[in-house]
A and B are shown apart, each in its own frame.
Chain A
Amino acid sequence: MNNYMTFIRKEIIETIRNKRLIVLACVFMSFAILGPLMGRYLVEFITMIVPAGELDVDGLMGLFDEPTWVDGYTNFYTNLAQVGVITVMLLYMGVILDEKRRGTAPMVLMKGLSHTTFVMSKFTVMALTTLVIMLVSTPIAHLYTYILFEEAGNFGEMMLGGLIFWIFLLFIIALMVFFSTIAQKVSNVALYGFLAYFAMVIFDVVQQLREFLPYGLVVRAVQVSIGYFHEHLMVNLLITIVAMIILLAVSIHILKKKEL
């Protein structure tokens, strides 16, 4: 427990001093503001960009429904599921591998830190960092939606949606821990990460799979935020959490067997 707290302290210092916290906060909060803004003014933005006379504004308006606060929420989560997730992947792709390559892993592991504590304290701090950022950016998205649309969903449900999205982020982080443990090069971690991400996006097209796979939690987060609790929500959550635990357990097992 002592070493767990010691290494958590080290990871928190690293997150702050290496500017990971600021980068994540900037990206997530930007989307907390831009998501609702794009939801409210998308058509207006398009008409501003395209030169006058080249666009049938009335025809364009006809293609879109009148924007509502649901669009504000939806844009927030879909933007996070793309740029937010890729940012998390880029920031955490070297989480284990960098320690091995820099030679810091043997230094701390030889001092009595167990492999389990090494991995779990890193995961804990990544989980806490993303939790804090979700807890700050979700209310901003809610408030901005309310300001722009003069109405919004239930705040509690929006926060619950944010927590569901956070569990999806935890799965992504566990995936990066796993890839970072097995790969020899950071470029390979990035490759595996992006392949996994595109596989998730592709499988999401298949309705039957979306019901159960981790990526389905993005849609669940939007649904819960607007007050709709899908019948497969718990199954979706359970599968994601079990997958996350398996990824972490396998990473620890591999790390224990690996020579440094």
Chain B
Amino acid sequence: MSETMAVETFGLTKRFKTALAVNEVNLRVPQGAICGFLGKNGAGKTTTIKMLTGMKKPTSGEFAIMGKKETFGKGIRAVGYLPDVPGFYGYMTGWEFLDLCARLCNMPEQERKTHVDDLLKQVGLYGVKTKVSGYSRGMRQRLGIAQALVNNPAVVFMDEPISALDPMGRRDIMEIIGGLRGKTSVVLSTHILSDVENICDHIIIIEKGKIVEQGTLDEIKARFGHEDTVKVTFYTPEDCGKFITALKEQGEFDVREEGMKVAIQSSKLAPVDVSKLAAKLLTNGDLPFKGLNIDAPSLDDIFYEVTK
């Protein structure tokens, strides 16, 4: 018997008046996974999440949460949702807001009080008496996570929870999300791939409304393992530019500039031969460089590859 997925969709499609936002999506998120849901702006991440949380009506297709088929317009008790900019009643304290949410979930009084205290401790807001209107952005995201967990959901959807945060706030929120591992399934939509690589064990990449890659991080890296990248790091952008010009004179290469770094792939040459060629060009051109190495593909590389 196949394992029940935390989230499973069957040809999920959403068409707006002029655009096909989500096109026949079949995604599978295993139970207990922290799943990075990746895609460029407008790829269909938010629309997919809104359909899976019952906020948008699919044009066609179906979806199941913990094996149970769900439909638009009926509350989905098994999910929690954190939007990119969570809304709160600014005149309430964090405790009052979570207590309201817990009451709406019909949680018994004694359990409710303990649960709300525990959630506030979990997100580091316990004892904060300030009204939500006085919260910083980071505090609002923490409270947003707490409200998404208030009903003890089997699956939590988080839509770009760290995009507007400073590095410290980002790290704090990622630690909280990482702490959910093993307790609940998480679908995390974000643009910050290094964070995804650090905490996600499962990846789904969506492009123009279609799923282009999904699986565990290891499975996906194995699929792209033959595409090792040669990377040369320079001290100045001028040297970077000179090197790229010289390289392009040697034949067809897939060249990508990442700041002071140049990433090279070739369909004709093996990575080791590309690195030899690069070394030759650096010596001939007398170009100072910081490093030359062959890297296994990072999530960044894979994302670039499948969405280009």
Contact = CB atoms under 8 A, between A and B. Distances in A.
A binds B: yes
Interface of A: 2-3, 6-7, 10, 13-14, 17-18, 102-104, 106-114, 256-257, 259-260
Interface secondary structure of A, over-half rule: helix
B106 A3 contact: yes
Given A102-B87, A106-B83, A256 B55 contact: no
B57 A110 contact: no
B292 interface: no
Given A104-B89, A106-B81, A111 B73 contact: no
Nearest to A257: B73
Contacts of B296: none
A257 to B, nearest CB: 8
A112 B103 contact: no
Interface of B: 50, 53-57, 72-73, 75-77, 79, 81, 83, 85-89, 91-92, 96, 100-101, 103-106, 147, 150-151
Given A106-B81, A111-B75, 5 more contacts: A110-B54, A112-B75, A112-B77, A113-B104, A260-B56
Contacts of B83: 103, 106
A111 B87 contact: no
Nearest to B90: A102
Contacts of A13: 91-92, 96
| Across the A-B interface, the 9 shortest Cβ-Cβ residue pairs | A103-B87, A102-B87, A111-B104, A17-B91, A6-B103, A260-B55, A104-B87, A259-B56, A112-B75
A113 B101 CA distance: 10
Contacts, number: 74
A259 B57 contact: yes
B159 to A, nearest CB: 11
A257 B53 CA distance: 15
A88 B122 CA distance: 42
Nearest to A10: B100
Nearest to B53: A110
Nearest to B85: A103
Q: Which of A7, A18, A104, A114 has the most CB of B within 10 A?
A: A104
27 contacts: A3-B104, A10-B89, A10-B100, A14-B89, A14-B91, A17-B91, A102-B87, A103-B85, A103-B86, A104-B87, A104-B88, A107-B88, A107-B101, A108-B100, A108-B101, A109-B75, A110-B54, A110-B55, A110-B75, A110-B76, A111-B150, A111-B151, A112-B77, A112-B105, A112-B106, A259-B55, A259-B72
Contacts of B77: 112
B178 to A, nearest CB: 24
A13 B99 CA distance: 13
A18 B76 contact: no
Contact of A111 (B55, B56, B91, B105): B105
B104 A6 contact: yes
Q: Which of B57, B104, B105 has the most CB of A within 10 A?
A: B104
Nearest to B144: A107
Nearest to A108: B104
A106 B96 CA distance: 18
Nearest to A16: B91
Contacts of B85: 103
Contacts of B72: 259
A110 B101 CA distance: 10
A69 to B, nearest CB: 42
A18 B87 contact: no
A256 B76 CA distance: 14
Nearest to B102: A111
Contacts of B103: 2-3, 6
Contacts of B50: 259-260
B221 to A, nearest CB: 35
Contact of A256 (B53, B73, B88): B73
A260 B57 CA distance: 10
Contacts of B91: 13-14, 17-18
Nearest to B87: A103
B56 A107 contact: no
A260 B55 CA distance: 5
A137 B286 CA distance: 90
A62 B50 CA distance: 70
Contacts of B81: 106-107, 110
Nearest to A3: B104
Contact of A2 (B53, B79, B86, B106): B106
A7 B150 CA distance: 17
Nearest to B103: A6
A30 to B, nearest CB: 25
A75 to B, nearest CB: 36
Contacts of B76: 110
Nearest to A104: B87
A18 B92 CA distance: 11
A6 B100 contact: yes
A258 B56 CA distance: 8
B104 A112 contact: yes
Contacts of B92: 13
A7 B100 CA distance: 8
A17 B91 CA distance: 7
